[in-house]
Structure 1
Amino acid sequence: MKPFFVIASAIALTATTPALADHHRSSTIVETAIASPQHETLVAAVKAAGLVDTLAGQGPFTVFAPTDSAFAKLPEDTVATLLKPENVTTLRSVLTYHVVAGKVSASELIGMIDENGGSAQLKTVQGALLTASLSDGKVILTDSEGGTASVVQADLKASNGIIHATDTVSMPG
């Protein structure tokens, strides 16, 4: 009887392990960001901008998601000002500047950079371009104003796309 129990337990563990490993794959980009302790400011901004339904939609999307510490680098009161209802258009512009249509993994992005002579232009949902390049093995995003952000965590998979956490808020210019 004992060997049957061991085999049955092993089968049950094998059957549930992929589900645990794929937890984020079954969550949308918004649900994945909500579950992240590093993206509370981003989640508040997405809610204030009315973009929850969009980013929870079918996609796929690639989101370069600034961490809370990235938002903390902005000049004092910037986030509070952006979150005001009268600034929703500006907030949407900043947020959609961090979103690219399609699902682009870190390895695919590095391949695009290599294929294009050291940089790749990414057209954002906002309409402007982000430029991706490599420096010391890290993906660096250069925004319309010349500011740079590093990808600090890559390939957070979601059911409707992928998230790459960044250390700086990119500005559309």
Structure 2
Amino acid sequence: MKKLLHQGYMVVILLCAGIVFAVTSCRKEAADQTPVVPVANDEVLEAQVRSEGLTYQNQLPANAQSQAISINEQLAQSADISKNARSSATIYYIASHISLFSALTAALNVTGLNTAIDNGKATLTVFAPTDLAFALLPAPFNKASSISKITDANQLAVLKALLLYHVLGTEVGYKDITPGRSQAATLKPKGASNDNTVYFSKDLGLIGINGKSLVLVPDVYAKNGVIHVISSVLAFPVTNIAEAAISNPNLSTLVAALVKTNLAGVFTGNGDYTVFAPTNTAFAKMPAPYNSAANINAITDANQVATLTNILKYHVLGSRFFGSDLGFFDEHTTLAAAPSNHINTVAAFPVGYVKGIANKGYNYINPGNILCTNGVVHVIPNVLMP
């Protein structure tokens, strides 16, 4: 366990869903964050959860628990469906007989995927979003009545790809998803690199997917596979890291820096990176010539370019970490030059905190878990300093 911070700092530790959500009492979006201290590491907390006999549902955040309770109640009321026991009903039958899946059922019907999901000889895993999850999508994908009326070929193609991104071609139960980070290929036809891959984060017994969605009810077994009920619709990535940065006007200084250092090309190709992306406001706090896109574009000194290159590499990890993967004061090695090339992170769901060696405190990630074909982007309010 890390040393406690000096008495002048106030720390609030939120234990929610068996995951430690660590936040400071004086969090500021545009400034370094006060370091936070978890009450225990994840192994200790997981042992505590097990010893207390908590169910998966008990560990969920309060707003997710209400959805899980409703789903479990509907499962219990059906004579054909039983939780954690193999049902004689197919995945499609189960979805079509649970009112919270009316949008999912409509989507399967209108795209013609209902036949495949109803095939009793298939072996599938379906991550099933609830109607509340679909309601967060733009029209006409946000409710059953609108979905049922879709006739546009392009919209149907998008919806079909989206649905297939929720399906694995094999049965993967809760216990088959290993603790920590893992991934699986979906039945969505592959387009860009990794655009048909889903990423699991299993911490303290809970499962997050793509850093955004939470499994509400795992292991609803059907004749032809298993359903995991999830809190939000999974969106497959359509842009790489460079494209994601270019499309965000708050990251224009970062884009200028990537171009000046010839690193932009790295993030347009294949890969699996985590990028902590400082905003324009973050760069503005830096000394010249690193404090604006215009000044960075004007750099000609080779030593300044080398310094900028190392700073940028200090914001990059060589594999994909979502907010809940960041651990509790874990140390990660960046792509920057040794020896001053490590950063420290604190996990939370969905986002977390990150600190450079020379930073005074932890930076709150906001927004985070921006899924790209070649990694994930977390936006931060300060430049990380080695």
TM score, norm. by length of structure 2: 0.37
Q: How does 1:49-68 map to 2 (within 5 A)?
A: 49-68=261-280
- Relative contact order higher in (CA < 8 Å, ≥ 6 apart): 1
Structure 2 residue matching 1:153: 3-state secondary structure: coil
Residue in structure 2 matched with residue 159 of structure 1 by the alignment: 373
CA apart distance, 1:78? 3.5
* More deviation, 98-107/137-146: 137-146
Distance 1:33 1:15, change over 3 A: same
Check conservation: 1:82, 1:88, Cα contact below 8 A. Answer: no
Q: Kindly indicate whether residue 344 of structure 2 is the aligned counterpart of residue 131 of structure 1.
A: yes
Amino acid at match of 2:370: L
Give structure 1 regions of 4+ aligned residues with deviation exceeding 4 angstroms. Answer: none
Distance 1:82 1:95, change over 3 A: farther
Structure 1 unaligned runs (5+)?
Answer: 114-118
Q: State yes or no: 1:84 paired with 2:299.
A: yes
Residue in structure 1 matching 2:324, options 84, 107, 110: 107
Equivalent position amino acid for 1:143 in 2? G
The answer to whether 1:75 aligns with 2:287 is yes
Compared CA separation, residues 82 and 138, structure 1 to 2 (3 A): same
Percent sequence identity over matched residues?
Answer: 26
Please give the alpha-carbon distance, in whole angstroms, between the structure 2 residues aligned to 1:147 and 1:95: 19
Cα distance in 2 between the residues matched to 1:132 and 1:162: 15
Give the conservation status (yes or no) of the 8 Å contact 2:359–2:384: no
User: Is the counterpart of residue 9 in structure 1 residue 151 in structure 2?
Assistant: yes
- Say whether 1:146 aligns with 2:359: yes
Amino acid at match of 2:280: D
Output the aligned Cα RMSD.
Answer: 2.8
Counterparts in 2 of 1:78 and 1:33: CA distance versus 1, 3 Å: closer
Give 1:105's aligned amino acid.
F
User: Tell me, which stretches of 5 or more residues in structure 2 are unaligned?
Assistant: 1-109, 111-147, 166-233
Is contact 1:97-1:124 (8 Å) kept?
A: yes
> Whole-Å Cα distance in 1 between the matches of residues 149 and 347 of structure 2?
48
| CA separation of 1:91 and 1:33: change in aligned 2, threshold 3 A | same
Q: Establish whether residue 46 from structure 1 lines up as the match of residue 261 from structure 2.
A: no
Contact 1:67 1:168 in 2 (8 A): yes
Give the C-alpha shift of residue 29 in structure 1.
Answer: 0.4
- Cα shift at 1:146: 3.3
Deviation at 1:81, TM superposition (A): 6.2
